Amino acid sequence: MSANIHPTALVAPGAVLADDVSVGPYCVIGEHTVIGPGTRLFSHVVIEGRCEIGAGNSIYPFAMLGGPPQHTAYKGEDTRLVIGDNNIIREHATMNIGTAAGGGVTYVGSDGFYMIESHVGHDCKVGDNVILTKQATLGGHCQIGDFVIVGGLAAVHQYTRVGRHAMIGGLAAVVKDVIPYGSVWGNHAHLEGLNLVGLKRRGFSRETINTMRAAYRLLFADEGTFQERLDDTVETYSDCAEVMEIIDFIRAEAGRPLCLPEREV
């Protein structure tokens, strides 16, 4: 089988399209594009820059992939956007290539769902099974773990980390790192607790969830200093991999402060 390209589409000579790629009406594909098998571009999709797209993706009208970084320091350096497999990228979604200063690659994992007008900024590292709902925005250099959900119209500040299985509520302005399994809400976002709905949907056992809840209450209690509570949590729950994932995330000491509860837990 060969790629199925609509006669109105413009595909640059250097582009590499695998077998059974489908390119719909009025799509524009640049010369540095590589598209894996089974990926479908419905219509009016624009792919430019150095863009590598995996297999089985569905890309809807007016999506713009591989555009230049929205960064004043970008001067046309040879950087990339890499997208994995089996993603759904809906209308008007945008994903930008990286910057030289940020490592040169924007990476989007597999099995994600990127809804209408969602945006992945330059140099982001986005995991698998991520959902960006309508008009959700990731600033540059964000690190988004697997199974994260970002609610509608929420914005994640540049350089912010969001741990695996976290939930960001709609309209949230996230300017601080979000722990794995956490649930945040508000402007500016604060930690509401654990993402219990997500944990249950993904098959975490009742015992594990109860252990995580107990560890959360200890970690974010009012008594003692945060470092003392961190040490106590490690001592008490070191045999729970999920709790230790939260601890390791906190200890990583990235550039952004930690998103904390607004009220007592």
pLDDT at 265: 45
Q: Which of 54, 127, 140, 151 is catalytic?
A: 140
- CATH for 200-251, options being 1.20.950, 1.20.1180, 1.20.1640, 1.10.3470: 1.20.1180
**CA separation for the pair 79, 91 (Å, rounded):** 24
Those residues with Cβ within 8 angstroms of residue 165's Cβ, 6 or more apart along the chain or in another chain: 145, 146, 147, 148, 180, 181, 195, 198, 199, 202
- CATH for 4-141, options being 2.160.10.10, 3.80.30.20, 1.10.1040.50, 3.30.300.20: 2.160.10.10
**CA separation for the pair 222, 219 (Å, rounded):** 9
pLDDT at 263: 65
Alpha helix segments (H runs only) across 100-141? none
- Amino acid, res. 147: F
* Helix, strand, coil distribution of the chain in percent, nearest 5: 15, 30, 55
Distances (CA, A) of 225 to 29, 229, 231, 260: 55, 6, 10, 14
Angle between helices 206-219 and 241-251 (to 10 degrees): 30
* Catalytic residue flag (residue 152): no
CA–CA–CA angle 146, 147, 150 (5° rounding): 110
pLDDT at 255: 83
Q: Enter the DSSP assignment of 234.
A: H
* Catalytic residue flag (residue 84): no
* Catalytic residue flag (residue 32): no
> For residues 51 and 83, is the Cβ–Cβ distance under 8 A?
yes
What are phi and psi for residue 104, nearest 5 degrees? 90, -5
Those residues with Cβ within 8 angstroms of residue 166's Cβ, 6 or more apart along the chain or in another chain: 145, 148, 149, 178, 179, 180, 181, 182, 183, 184, 195
Q: Which of 32, 122, 141, 165 is catalytic?
A: 122
Q: Which of 24, 102, 123, 128 is catalytic?
A: 123
Q: Where are the domains of the chain?
A: 4-141, 200-251
Kindly give the confidence (pLDDT) of every residue in the chain, 265 residues in length, as a single tens digit, with 9 standing for 90 and above. 589 999 999 999 999 999 999 999 999 999 999 999 999 999 999 999 999 999 999 999 999 999 999 999 999 999 999 999 999 999 999 999 999 999 999 999 999 999 999 999 999 999 999 999 999 999 999 999 999 999 999 999 999 999 999 999 999 999 999 999 999 999 889 999 999 999 999 999 999 999 999 999 999 999 999 999 999 999 999 999 999 999 999 999 778 899 999 865 4
